[in-house]
Amino acid sequence: MVYLIKFNSKTDSSQPHSEPKLRLFCLPYAGARASVFYQWSKNLPSTVEVRGVELPGRGRVKYPPYRKMELLVRAIAEHILPLLDRPFAIFGHSMGGLVGFELARLLRSEYALEYKTLLHLFISARNAPQNHSRDEGIYHLPDGEFLEKIAKYNGTPDEILKNPEMRELFLPILRADFEVLDTYIYKVEPPFDFPITVFGGSEDPMVNHDDLVGWKEHTNREFSCYTLPGNHFFIRSHQELLLQYISQKLSNN
């Protein structure tokens, strides 16, 4: 089951802004929880309601994680539909970027929401889908090899990688998330009629500038590409700068 976690702006309350002008749905990277977006509302306009998407397999209530992109995206769509009564935007980092892209496609094809309320798509640290790797991936590798590959992203804490108990809890979630990525098949569809903004890290070994610029062909509207200091997880090290760019774009909508 997918959960939508509300992060209120300007207060410590868990209640959303009473009358938000816009909702920002945030999709985390592989293995992460929605709590990575907990502080975001403090650096966004008070009229923006931040909704972190908590994917199955995380948190206190355990549901099996999804392993295929289509099933995951449909589950997310079903849960956010009641909240699409006003303009909204989507942000996704790494795996979340690709999920956000396919979520926007599904909302357009099956719910005709693109031209009414979907204002902006933000993609972070994710190569364009037409350049998605078609190799066998890593989700099926033995634990040792799988963890070696994961470590190259520089985002998984050492206490998880080196602690057997933590690994036992964390590995099934990571494997499922990478299966979503590794089995993803890109299909050609028309570009969107809303802006796309992409972000990359200057020292990201996984995603380079050319990978990011490839997103340009997926919109007929404004396209922006920003390089931030940091590695694949600049979303943590340079969060305030990232949110400045997002705030600026949302203010222009």
Q: Which residues are catalytic?
A: 94
Q: What angle do CA 112, 115, 116 make, to 5 degrees?
A: 85
Starting at the edge strand found earlier in the chain, the sheet holding 118-124 runs 3-7, 48-54, 22-27, 88-93, 118-124, 196-201, 223-228
- 95, β-bridge pairs: none
Q: Are 98 and 92 in contact (CB under 8 A)?
A: yes
Q: Are 99 and 28 in contact (CB under 8 A)?
A: no
Q: Are 73 and 30 in contact (CB under 8 A)?
A: no
In angstroms, the CA 172 to CA 170 distance is: 6
- 96, β-bridge pairs: none
Residue with tokens 């050492």: 158
